[in-house]
Structure 1
Amino acid sequence: MTILAVGFSLLAAALHVYIWVLESFRWTEPATRKTFRTSEADAAATREMAYNQGFYNLFLAVITLIGLALLGTDHEVGTALALAGTGSMLSAALVLITRDRSMARAAITQGTFPLLAVVSLLLQL
């Protein structure tokens, strides 16, 4: 089960690094605006907020990656950190869908790998 936990956690972290790039550095680009369904004016107005939000996503990925790195030497601490990162990612996806049902596709995209990671991490305890 650890292989699945590591694999799903890595995928979740990679996705959140990608989201960091989109939100922090490409927020006003046409392709990013299309992905996040925002207008040019709204993207310009929310650029600073998106920059900050992107770093939240990066930090969740970093916490997860540090946890994975520690799995071999300190299994309990590594698992706790990986669960903190992926659990927070999953929670953010749940907040997204409960706030706006039209964001179901985005929430599923954002939350599937973290959900699978959380389940796998819990099963390998």
Structure 2
Amino acid sequence: MNTALAVAGSVFVGLAALIHLYIWVLESIRWSQPSTWRTFGVTSQADADTVKPMAFNQGFYNLFLGLGVIIGLVLTWSGALEAGLALVFLAAGSMVGAALVLILSSPKLARAAAIQGAAPAVGIILLVLALTTA
């Protein structure tokens, strides 16, 4: 395995995990603050209250994906390479998949999709290259 590419890929998927943990904080902890729900395009307190249960639930999806990447990285770098990378690829791949669903279902959210999907996509590519080059 190419160690330099593995480190670079790990940094990108690690960044993706941190982004998803931050999104969890916004959606599940800070949703009631107007500055937070406005970030997600919600325009009124009544609308924010209506979608709050969905935002809370969605936030936990982001938490679980972020934790999946983090646990996978810990396993990868502590010697359980196959199990760790399987978990990283599953969690980071799910992040990329969710970003694709977002942009395909709502092209006006392309920026949000890029924030959600670019880092894990780059990380996956680098990790695949790390595994296929010496």
TM-score after normalising by structure 1: 0.96
- Does residue 114 (structure 1) correspond to residue 82 (structure 2)? The answer is no
The residue correspondences of 1:13-92 to structure 2 (distance < 5 A) are 13-39=17-43, 40-72=45-77, 73-92=79-98
* Unpaired runs of at least 5, structure 2: none
Q: Distance in 1 between matches of 2:7 and 2:25?
A: 27
| 1:6-34 Cα distance to aligned partner (Å, 9 max, x none) | 10011000000000000001112111122
> What's the CA shift for 1:4?
0.7
Q: Distance in 1 between matches of 2:25 and 2:104?
A: 25
CA RMSD of the aligned region, Å? 0.9
Higher relative contact order (CA 8 A, sep 6+): 2
Question: What residue number does 1:104 align with?
Answer: 110
The share of aligned pairs that are identical, in percent, is: 47
| 1:49-106 Cα distance to aligned partner (Å, 9 max, x none) | 1111100100001111111001121111111111111100111000000001110111
* Unpaired runs of at least 5, structure 1: none
> Could you list the runs of 4 or more consecutive aligned residues of structure 1 that deviate by over 4 angstroms after TM superposition?
none
Among 1, 7, 16, the alignment partner of 2:11 is 7
TM-score after normalising by structure 2: 0.90
